[in-house]
Structure 1
Amino acid sequence: MIGKRLDRLFVLYRYWLTRRRMSGWTDRASLERWQEKRVTAHLARVRRESPYFRELWANRDLSQWREFPIIDKTAMMNHFDRLNTAGIRKEEAFALALRAERTRDFTPMIGGVTIGLSSGTSGNRGLFVVSKEERLAWAGTMLAKVLPGSVRDEHRIAFFLRADSNLYGTVKGGRLQFAFYDLLDPLSSHLARLGEQKPTLLVAPPSMLRLLADKRRDGALSIRPARIVSIAEALDPLDRIRIEESFGQTVHQVYQCTEGCLGSTCAYGTVHIHEDLVVIQKEYVDRKLRKFVPIVTDFSRRTQPIVRYRLNDLLTGREEPCPCGSPFLAIESIEGRCDDLFYFPASDGTGWVRVFPDFIARAVLSASERIEAYRVVLHAPDRMTVQLGVDPAYRAETRGLVAQSFAALCARLGCRMPAIEFDDYDFVPGSVKLRRVERRFEHVPEPDLVR
């Protein structure tokens, strides 16, 4: 009992500390000076405790950390045993995590350390390991950033995800009622549970939020949460509009992945990077369009250090400062994975044209207001499938309009349009993440051949 009380006090302390930090910086310069001190102190501990990083960095001056070697998921998994600081072996961790997914019992740990698996959208599943202290700190931090109102209020949290974790259950206790909803369970059971729980905070992937929004519009669901938070998948503009119309409120976002919780929305709905926890370096894909890949250094995690870690995500920075006044980095959109960049042959036959996911999304959405859902899959540079959710009475007309929209896009970009095969939209939320725009061929042209 005393242990649980102390745990709860620590969560509340981190909640208070995060709230204070969120409003404590008024300018970028003071934030960066604070970050620099935190990062260098953190890296000194990591070098002592992680054999992998100690060898990787050798005797380099820690003040030069921004030039340290970059790692990625492949490197992290290849060197997992020597990278983590808890002495956990990858083979044992994978066995525990896979057993948890099979039995749907996510409580077992290794030496008090929580083990989890990423969804493996790219086919390369990643492990994450979190100590008890990090788990409690995460709970307090996320409550401060996401919870509506005050932690002293009563909150009923409905959390939809493919797999549960001790990490998420940490927020239980006191006035916080937390319920995990397994995405693999049937929708009918979700609707019944939601009707009984009446959540004040609804957290789910946008594909599930969209499904719940449709049920609410049809009268099959009557909940009125104080806040709705989108997680795990890129929030498409079409889904955002439908969810907000149905529930009558702004949809907030949490930008979280295996590598940590990287950002969340402010009161204005702008995603801000959690720069009280991480530093983001930008590897630009297109500087003019403000599109970049984030290189993450997390100075809050020691069990599985994340230092100069290149994500596979594609972000677009916000051009204008956010009205909220926060100096934290503001993001205009989280477009998804770099693996879903499209490449079309140039019209003149020399080289390739890179087509960003938001270009594809806009081409579909601007074609017709009758489109209720869509997916675009590029199977090869000259062949793609477009699934459309549209009233059958307008199916042929809408498909024609989408084809015209893609032709106009390709003419504007100077590339050849692939052959389009149309189909009806058939995605059902569950074990697989929704990717509105997806590339399924692996060949990526050499950079000097891409326009």
Structure 2
Amino acid sequence: MRPLTGMALAARAYAAARWRERTLRSRDAVARYQARRLRALGRHLATLPFYAGIDPDRPESWPVIDKAVLLANFAAMNVAGLELAEVRAALDRGENRIGRCTVGHSTGTSGNRGYFVISDAERYVWLGTLLAKALPDALWRRHRVALALPGFSRLYAAAEGGSRVRLGLFDLDDGVDGWADRFAAFAPDTIVAPPKVLRLLAERGLISRGATAFSAAEVLDPVDAAPIAAATGLPVRQIYMATEGLLGVSCAHGTLHLAEDAVAFEWEPAGALVQPVITDFTRRAQAMARYRMNDLLRLSDARCPCGSAFQAVAAVEGRRDDILLLGGVAVTPDVLRNALLDADRRIDDFRIVQTGAEAIVVALPEGIDGEPVRAALAAALARLGASATITVAHDIPPANATKLRRVRREWSPDQSSISAS
């Protein structure tokens, strides 16, 4: 039998994802489906050196890994046996292919890049699944999709061969000014970009009324969502994906639903938030099983009007690396973000940075009184049993092509006695 072409694989994955959306209509159905896929994945994992000796039928017994473990055991966790040094060398030469595999890396904003190996077939399965969730009408309606994302990989380029979806690539490293005219001429009906870029496009009148805006690659803050939604007249949607894979897509109601038909999620508590441990059962070229991510999520118990049984996410709040550590208390980014925005509804941009053991610097727009903000942040910290010297400035640095983190920690103590609050 002749193997399927790339776009045929994408079409099949699209149809399969749409079928799962229609048939997995309860949490029990999702759990049963995941159990079958996890058992099949377990049999594959057992063939990889790192997972030799695991019980394929007991996913809960598989080791929990993180980025450090993955990088230290890179060759033992991919089917081609590619060494990490080999992948890095190829990428340094500007190459993203080794044999039949595509390789790539994350943006590395935390100072430690993640690296991935993916097969051609998996690229097109990823594409079909994403299209089914983001553009469910793509089979009968043509779309012009603008992608303005950092580090274009062959994952995105896979869509260029589609007949129903015309793709426009806009490099963030060139800056919006470098491609604004080309973007306007392309006239996309769908835009995928970091929220800071979507907001800039909206403020320049480059996003058409009725266009669908997908926020990706960064935390979607309310200060960005409001002007984007005002420009489109529609809810801002999200595509939640990372080096680890496609993790979730918002429905037309704006609710972010996890891609539980492709990924199984376990949750580790981080105060009122949770940190995901993921198992992607669509990937074979490189294992992604019980991988502890660095993200912090706020889950939602509300049933979305769209009727999806897939877990809803109220917000992706940030990263565990950006939990502020103050006097033995860990303060998650959402606590200070919410306190700041509630202090003055006129705030449309900000930065909160921990610079010392008990020191926070807050940058606000010109014209915003810093005292109510300082008091609100101090009160939020006091409710957790924490305190800090809070310095207010009015010199917000411009957002560039790197990932925007409005709340971040730039100071690292001995964390041996820290627990999240």
TM-score range (shorter-chain normalised) is: over 0.9
1:368 equivalent in structure 2: 344
Q: Distance in 1 between matches of 2:420 and 2:341?
A: 26
C-alpha distance in 1, partners of 2:414/2:266? 24
Check if 1:384 corresponds to 2:354: no
Residue matched to 1:356: 332
The partner residue of 1:440 within 392, 410, 415 is 410
- Count of residues in Structure 1 that have an aligned counterpart in Structure 2: 419
Q: Which residue of 2 aligns with 1:211?
A: 200
Residue 400 of structure 1, CA deviation: 1.9
Q: Which residue of 2 aligns with 1:51?
A: 49
Asked whether 1:64 is paired with 2:34, we answer no
The gaps in structure 1 that reach 5 residues or longer are 101-105, 346-351
Q: What is the correspondence of 1:108-147 to structure 2 with a 5 Å cutoff?
A: 108-147=96-135
Answer yes or no: is the 8 Å Cα contact 2:211–2:232 preserved in 1.
no
Shift of 1:132: 0.6
What residue in structure 2 maps to residue 331 of structure 1? 313
CA contact (8 A) 1:81 1:90 kept: yes
SS at match of 1:256: strand
Once the two structures are superposed, residues 167-222 of structure 1 have per-residue CA deviations (whole angstroms, 9 ceiling, x without a partner) of 11111221321111110103222211111100111000111112112212xxxx35
Q: Which portions of structure 1, spanning 4 or more consecutive aligned residues, are displaced by more than 4 angstroms? A: 447-451
Aligned residue identity for 2:27:
R
Map of 2:170 onto structure 1:
181
Cα deviations across residues 339-393 of structure 1 (Å, max 9, x unaligned)?
1111222xxxxxx332221111112111212212111111113212111224xxx
Contact map agreement 2:6 2:120 (CA 8 A) in 1: no
Relative to structure 1, is the Cα distance of residues 123 and 223 closer, same or farther in structure 2, using a 3 angstrom cutoff?
same
Aligned to 1:195: 184
Give the equivalent residue in structure 2 for 1:255.
240
Mapping 1:237-256, distance limit 5 Å: 237-256=222-241
**Superposed displacement of residue 225, structure 1:** 5.7
Q: 1:374 touches 1:425 (CA, 8 Å); kept in 2?
A: yes
1:374 and 1:65 mapped to 2: Cα distance?
42
2:220 to 216, 224, 235: 235
- Let me know the Cα RMSD of the aligned residues: 1.9
Q: Which residue of 1 aligns with 2:323?
A: 341
Q: Is the Cα contact below 8 Å between 1:208 and 1:429 reproduced in 2?
A: no
Aligned residue identity for 1:12: A
Instruction: Go from structure 1 to structure 2 and tell me whether the alpha carbon gap of 1:177 and 1:225 turns closer, same or farther (over 3 Å shift).
Output: farther
Q: Which moved more, 1:159-168 or 1:417-426?
A: 417-426
Deviation at residue 148 of structure 1 after TM alignment: 5.7
Identical-pair percentage: 36
Task: Say yes or no: does 1:314 pair with 2:299.
Answer: no
Listed one character per residue, the Cα deviations across residues 401-439 of structure 1 (whole Å, up to 9, x for unaligned) are 211211222333332232314131122231x10001001
Equivalent residue letter for 1:275? E
Residue 349 of structure 1 is matched in structure 2 by none
Q: Which amino acid aligns with 1:416?
A: S
Pairwise CA distance, 1:142: 0.7
CA distance in 2, matches of 1:299, 1:31: 14
Question: Residue type matched to 2:181 in 1?
Answer: A
Mapping of residues 136-175 of structure 1, within 5 Å: 136-147=124-135, 149-172=137-160, 173-175=162-164
Q: 1:449 to 1:300 in 2, by over 3 A?
A: closer
Change (3 A) 1:84 1:356: same
| Counterparts of 2:192 and 2:403, CA distance in 1 | 15
What amino acid does structure 1 have at the position aligned with 2:236?
Answer: V
Distance in 1 (alpha carbons) for counterparts of 2:395 and 2:378: 21
Answer whether contact 1:264 1:274 (CA < 8 A) is retained. Answer: yes
2-side partners of 1:425 and 1:120: how far apart? 23
Q: Is the 8 A contact 1:194 1:223 kept in 2?
A: no
CA deviation after TM superposition for structure 1 residue 292, in Å: 1.0
Residue of structure 2 in register with 1:304 after alignment: 286
Which residues of structure 2 form unaligned runs of 5+?
none
Per the TM alignment, residue 450 of structure 1 is displaced from its structure 2 partner at its CA by 6.1
Whole-angstrom distance in 2 between the partners of 1:244 and 1:99: 41
TM-score between the two structures when normalised by the length of structure 2: 0.94
In structure 1, the residue matched to 2:277 is 295
User: Aligned partners of 1:7 and 1:445: how far apart in 2?
Assistant: 47
Are the equivalent residues in 2 in contact too, given 1:199–1:224 (CA < 8 A)?
A: no
What is the CA deviation profile of residues 7-40 of structure 1, one whole-angstrom value per residue up to 9, with x for unaligned ones? 2222111111111111211221122112111111
- Aligned CA distance change for structure 1 residues 449 and 337 (closer, same or farther; 3 Å): closer
TM-score with structure 1 setting the length? 0.88
